[in-house]
């Protein structure tokens, strides 16, 4: 399956795991229909993230799901993850301008970059990002200092971006139709799935809603 065809991007965010085993959560997300899963452990020691990564990558591989590590390219490469996601501060503000600037040891990997405005999205595309995150669409505790970009930015992305992109930030089943109507065909979901009573069912509901909107319809 091409990146362009991946619709649901889920997360294992340690801010929302509530002591649940990360391997279990990874399996639940895979069973629920996630196409991509990101391991995001912002406040955990790097050694612990490295420990988490091995089981996470293995579970994703067993289910044919793309595995992404947030922030730590070295851990992504060491664990065999499919790719790494970086924020603006971790890529451009760290002095990088092209994906090739990152030291991957020649190993192919997926690079995702965050963006909060059109200029940042254009810069990410020029840098060679394999996909771009568009958001936060709505206010979200995962990005408390970043203002919501609203569906206006989603509409801009739908009209201008030619690389795969994912709407992210505060997306719930109750506002999903607004995001899809703005032109999104692929989304990232964090708390609405991880905080649900049944992670598998919540993931499945998002996937069903997405697949009920054919890509051709969303793009029109």
CATH number at residue 68: 3.20.20.70
Dist CA 152 CA 57 (whole Å)? 35
pLDDT band at 217 (very low <50, low <70, confident <90, very high): very low
Dist CA 137 CA 174 (whole Å)? 14
The domain in which residue 192 lies consists of 3-219
pLDDT band at 218 (very low <50, low <70, confident <90, very high): very low
Please give the residue that has the higher pLDDT: either 106 or 155: 155
Name the nearest CA neighbour of 40 among 71, 74, 66: 71
pLDDT at residue 181 greater than cutoff 60? yes
Structurally, how many domains does the chain consist of?
Answer: 1
Task: Give the pLDDT of residue 178.
Answer: 97
pLDDT at residue 216 greater than cutoff 60? no
Percentage of the residues of the chain whose pLDDT score is greater than 90: 88
Task: Give the pLDDT of residue 168.
Answer: 98
| Rounded-to-10 torsion of CA 78, 54, 109, 43 | -90
Dist CA 95 CA 182 (whole Å)? 33
Dist CA 128 CA 169 (whole Å)? 23
The radius of gyration computed from the CA coordinates of the chain, to the nearest angstrom, equals 16
């Amino acid at each position: 399956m091409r990146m362009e065809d991946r619709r649901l991007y889920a997360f294992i965010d340690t801010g929302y795991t509530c002591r649940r085993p990360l391997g279990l959560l990874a399996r639940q997300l895979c069973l629920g229909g996630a196409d991509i899963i990101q391991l995001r452990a912002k406040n955990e020691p790097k050694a612990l993230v490295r420990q988490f990564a091995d089981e996470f990558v293995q579970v994703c591989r067993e289910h044919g799901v793309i595995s992404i590590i947030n922030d730590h390219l070295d851990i992504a490469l060491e664990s065999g993850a499919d790719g790494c996601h970086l924020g603006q501060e971790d890529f451009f503000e760290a002095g990088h301008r092209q994906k090739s600037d990152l030291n991957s040891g020649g190993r192919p990997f997926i690079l995702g970059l965050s963006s909060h405005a059109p200029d940042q999205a254009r810069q990410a595309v020029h840098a060679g990002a394999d996909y771009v995150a568009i958001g936060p669409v709505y206010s979200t505790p995962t990005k408390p200092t970043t203002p919501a970009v609203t569906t206006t930015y989603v509409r801009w992305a739908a009209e201008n971006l030619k690389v795969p992109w994912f709407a992210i930030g505060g997306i719930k089943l109750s506002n999903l139709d607004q995001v899809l109507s703005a032109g999104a065909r692929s989304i990232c979901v964090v708390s609405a799935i991880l905080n649900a009573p049944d992670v598998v069912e919540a993931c499945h509901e998002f996937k069903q809603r997405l697949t009920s909107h054919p890509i051709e319809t969303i793009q029109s």
